[in-house]
Chains A and B, each alone.
Chain A
């Protein structure tokens, strides 16, 4: 048993270890994986003085209890959830001291889906193909964290009061600021900017109109592989099958049903269904935070000529 670690006493719906993923193996069929909301993951690391590639815990839909086995500093970002250390509320998107034996409780997020927990030194499970990320599609990496699991934490210089004050002064992006806005509980309308293509010409003009002019609902079938949407079916202009081709994270793929799927971190590396558009990089975190019941409105720009 490591002395330096965190005990995930209660894991809740789904807790996975994540980092910046496994780049460079897509030609072997290995999904990129890694944090679904990369800025939130990286920001949590920044708040505890970790490098961006340190592994965090991606907590889906909250409901998690984590006990520190050693005195340390942690921070949570992403989907805003109420936090308590013992029975004392703790700040979100800020460094939080945990003494050895203290338990942090993460409540249910008031908005968004995925909360990132960073601990100073990073989660130190063994990497697989250069990454500690859990890939729910291929099964690579550590298994999802179960109740009463102790995870080792990497070594790092201890945090002095001066260090802690410096961490607390780090600039917090407004999306993660502590908010008491309960209206955020209602289902959100998420505007998602996309660039059309590569296979937008596989769809009718009416389909492209529906993509941009109607709202799609996030279904409960969504996961780290992709956000499955329900709404106006997108009709094809081309008959016949598309041969499998490489796909990117953020691709809006349209299977035979006509109901789009937005690919997230654990998507397969190739696919045989046409991709009508790709989510703009700055809006990918919004998709990663979409909850079942939220609505998506696509805002499309044309496929540029090259």
Chain B
């Protein structure tokens, strides 16, 4: 992650039109996605912005900006001239999630890591994760922070039903399923006593992009 401001062209590899009113920003490094998304949001929140948008959707290596109110070439030129400030290292709020390590795939993950189930739990407890982006379902945050060497593949066969609160891993991402859904991630545990998604709450998602996350013992 950049610790100083960077010209957007050094962070953004390209921009692609998506239909008539959306622009896909391709980011060179996944670590820079949050800062770019924040810069777009800051522009939209500024007084009297030159262009507005409906949604800013960060993802693994891209930021999609939808519902643009000006021609895409104009927006692209504007973003291309920006300097992107870095996100402060502790930008996001810290959320602690109580986790019971009871997932059906905990043994498989331990095998893939060449260690024991207890050691998997210990490792996950020691890491600080960050919500890189949300997608797939309301409140489902993709957490980064897992070292590349600990990345695990998805299950060969997705489950049709993953219990609500399940903590899963796929690739270099960790995530927690807010509600019952199909899912192909490796399930290592369950978040307890925590509403990951609550429509009555503001904001409804506990794991917003940029939030830092630690797993604690239930």
Question: A32 vs B76: C-alpha distance in the bound complex, in angstroms?
Answer: 24
CB-CB under 8 A from B99, the residues of chain A are none
Pick the interface stretch among A101-109, A157-165, A244-252: A244-252
The total of Cβ contacts below 8 Å across the A-B interface reads: 127
Residue of B nearest to A201 (CB): B16
- B contact face: mostly helix, strand, loop, or mixed: mixed
Residue of A nearest to B73 (CB): A306
Residue of A nearest to B80 (CB): A306
Whether the pair B17, A27 counts as a contact (CB closer than 8 A) is: no
Task: Tell me whether B20 is interfacial, beta carbon within 8 Å.
Answer: yes
Q: For residue B93, give the distance in angstroms from its CB to the closest CB of chain A.
A: 15
Whether the pair B136, A198 counts as a contact (CB closer than 8 A) is: no
Whether the pair B20, A26 counts as a contact (CB closer than 8 A) is: no
Chain B residue total in the interface (Cβ 8 A): 45
Pick the interface stretch among B1-9, B51-59, B115-123, B144-152: B51-59
Question: A275 vs B136: C-alpha distance in the bound complex, in angstroms?
Answer: 16
Pick the interface stretch among A2-10, A85-93, A113-121, A277-285: A277-285
Whether the pair A29, B60 counts as a contact (CB closer than 8 A) is: no
Whether the pair B18, A248 counts as a contact (CB closer than 8 A) is: yes
Question: A243 vs B60: C-alpha distance in the bound complex, in angstroms?
Answer: 6
CB-CB under 8 A from B64, the residues of chain A are 245-248
Whether the pair B76, A306 counts as a contact (CB closer than 8 A) is: yes
Task: Tell me whether B190 is interfacial, beta carbon within 8 Å.
Answer: no
Task: Tell me whether B214 is interfacial, beta carbon within 8 Å.
Answer: no
CB-CB under 8 A from B135, the residues of chain A are 29, 244, 246, 268-270
Question: A269 vs B63: C-alpha distance in the bound complex, in angstroms?
Answer: 12
Q: A269-B57, A306-B76 are in contact. Are A250 and B137 (CB under 8 A)?
A: no
Whether the pair A280, B20 counts as a contact (CB closer than 8 A) is: yes
Question: A25 vs B203: C-alpha distance in the bound complex, in angstroms?
Answer: 10
Residue of A nearest to B54 (CB): A23
Q: A27-B56, A245-B24 are in contact. Are A268 and B18 (CB under 8 A)?
A: no
Question: A195 vs B137: C-alpha distance in the bound complex, in angstroms?
Answer: 27
Whether the pair A29, B19 counts as a contact (CB closer than 8 A) is: no
Whether the pair A306, B57 counts as a contact (CB closer than 8 A) is: no
CB-CB under 8 A from A305, the residues of chain B are 73
Whether the pair B57, A197 counts as a contact (CB closer than 8 A) is: no
* Cβ 8 A contact of A197, one of B18, B76, B133: B18
Question: A303 vs B208: C-alpha distance in the bound complex, in angstroms?
Answer: 32
Q: A129-B199, A246-B66 are in contact. Are A27 and B20 (CB under 8 A)?
A: no
Number of contact residues on A: which range applies? Answer: 35 or more
CB-CB under 8 A from A30, the residues of chain B are 138
Question: A305 vs B134: C-alpha distance in the bound complex, in angstroms?
Answer: 29
Q: A27-B133, A243-B60, A251-B18 are in contact. Are A306 and B72 (CB under 8 A)?
A: yes
Whether the pair A245, B17 counts as a contact (CB closer than 8 A) is: no
CB-CB under 8 A from B137, the residues of chain A are 29, 138, 268
CB-CB under 8 A from B136, the residues of chain A are 29, 244, 268-270
Whether the pair B24, A304 counts as a contact (CB closer than 8 A) is: no
Whether the pair B17, A195 counts as a contact (CB closer than 8 A) is: yes
* Cβ 8 A contact of B62, one of A197, A246, A303: A246
Within 8 A of B (CB), among A127-143: 128-129, 138-140
Question: A25 vs B179: C-alpha distance in the bound complex, in angstroms?
Answer: 18
Question: A28 vs B37: C-alpha distance in the bound complex, in angstroms?
Answer: 13
A-B contact pairs, 27 of them (CB 8 A): A25-B55, A26-B55, A27-B208, A28-B134, A28-B204, A29-B135, A29-B137, A140-B138, A195-B19, A197-B16, A198-B18, A198-B24, A243-B60, A243-B61, A244-B135, A245-B64, A246-B63, A246-B64, A248-B66, A250-B19, A268-B136, A269-B135, A270-B133, A278-B19, A306-B23, A306-B72, A306-B76
7 closest A-B pairs by beta carbon, nearest first, are A246-B64, A270-B135, A246-B57, A278-B19, A243-B60, A26-B55, A198-B16
